[in-house]
């Protein structure tokens, strides 16, 4: 039997730092209030010349270097984004072109903030089925291009960034084999209106009216989304732990989607997890949508908070709505 193992992590954050003073100024909100409401002190913004693929390539190169791989070693590229370079071709194909690894499969996943775990699950299935031996999974987001600076529900939260992992299939070596133990994916399309960009697709094409109505910007029902995110994440985490026979006290590090500092706090308390076991980078980078989980994972690895054979719990929640959880023996 083959088990999929993460052998390299990487991340990239744009240079420009956007403070709470800057995002709060248009809304008349003091920096300290922004921090209290969100748990964020600053976030990053991509340069005008940067698209999601540019951020994704930098994160990919960092992950490849950590794995000791070159792009030519890859068997596939799976990329999560809600802010693609173009409608088509996929942003994954742009990343493939820049990395110079032609002919391998490359495609995008659109599962909002849960996209990284959805992509990880697809890559795991391809590896375990024998289709490929290695895979690059990237999540890259330039959310700032779809944010209305005058919308307090979104302008305070979102930042730009990218994270990536390199996966390799390895033969199982007993119960303590390193690698992905399992990933569980969920969705509820009936809740699609809680977070959405209403226009720009085939249902509501771009017109002067949609532009005037700001229907191409991210719209979110924050309070409802907050409650649902905590409930669904708590549920899928407990189900996943029970399925794989893992107790919460055996989890060394919890890496969650960095949606909002208050969500992280509420979920941590609800699960009864000590804060030092929960990776949090939202204060520095804000909510980078699907990129936030791999960015946080890379931070935890490079900070020395994850060690070989540690059990790592992953969790995410996002638009769709979608949510997911996973377990890794590092």
Task: List active site positions.
Answer: 113, 257, 287
Residue 22, φ and ψ in degrees, nearest 5: -70, -45
- Token output for 195: 């977070």
Taking the alpha carbons of 201, 206, 209, 210 in that order, is the dihedral positive or negative?
positive
Pairwise CA distance, residues 64 & 123, whole Å: 16
Q: Tell the residue number behind the tokens 């193992």, with chain if given.
A: 5
Q: Is the Cβ–Cβ distance between 4 and 127 less than 8 Å?
A: yes
Q: How many CA atoms lie within 13 A of 272 on its CB side?
A: 5
CA distance 103 to 215: 37
Question: Which residues, in sequence order, are bridge partners of residue 99?
Answer: none
């Amino acid at each position: 039997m083959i088990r999929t193992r993460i052998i390299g992590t990487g991340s990239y954050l744009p240079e420009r730092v956007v403070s709470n003073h800057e995002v709060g100024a248009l809304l008349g909100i003091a920096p300290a209030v922004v921090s209290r409401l969100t748990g964020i002190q600053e976030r990053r913004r991509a340069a005008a010349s940067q698209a999601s693929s540019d951020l994704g390539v930098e994160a990919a190169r960092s992950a490849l270097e950590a794995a000791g791989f070159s792009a030519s070693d890859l068997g596939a590229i799976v990329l999560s984004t809600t802010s693609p370079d173009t409608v088509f071709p996929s942003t994954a194909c742009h990343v493939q072109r820049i990395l110079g690894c032609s002919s391998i499969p490359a495609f995008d996943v659109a599962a909002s903030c849960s996209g990284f775990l959805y992509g990880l699950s697809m890559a795991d299935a391809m590896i375990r089925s024998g289709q490929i031996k290695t895979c690059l999974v990237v999540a890259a987001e330039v959310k700032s291009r779809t944010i209305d600076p005058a919308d307090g529900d979104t302008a305070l939260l979102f930042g730009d960034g990218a994270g990536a992992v390199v996966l390799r299939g390895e033969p199982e070596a007993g119960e303590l084999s390193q690698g992905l133990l399992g990933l569980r994916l969920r969705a509820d399309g009936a809740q699609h209106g809680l977070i959405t960009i209403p226009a720009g697709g085939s249902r509501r094409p771009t017109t002067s009216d949609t532009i005037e109505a700001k229907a191409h910007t991210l719209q979110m029902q924050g309070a409802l989304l907050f409650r649902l995110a905590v409930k669904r994440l708590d549920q899928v985490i407990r189900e996943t732990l029970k399925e794989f026979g893992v107790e919460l006290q055996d989890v060394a590090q919890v890496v969650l989607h960095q949606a909002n500092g208050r969500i992280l706090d509420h979920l941590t308390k609800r699960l009864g997890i000590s804060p030092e076991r929960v990776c949090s980078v939202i204060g520095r980078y804000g909510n980078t949508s699907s990129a936030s989980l791999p960015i946080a994972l890379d931070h935890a690895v490079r900070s020395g908070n994850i060690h070989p054979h540690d059990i790592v719990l992953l969790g995410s929640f996002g638009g769709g709505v979608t949510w997911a959880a996973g377990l890794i023996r590092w």
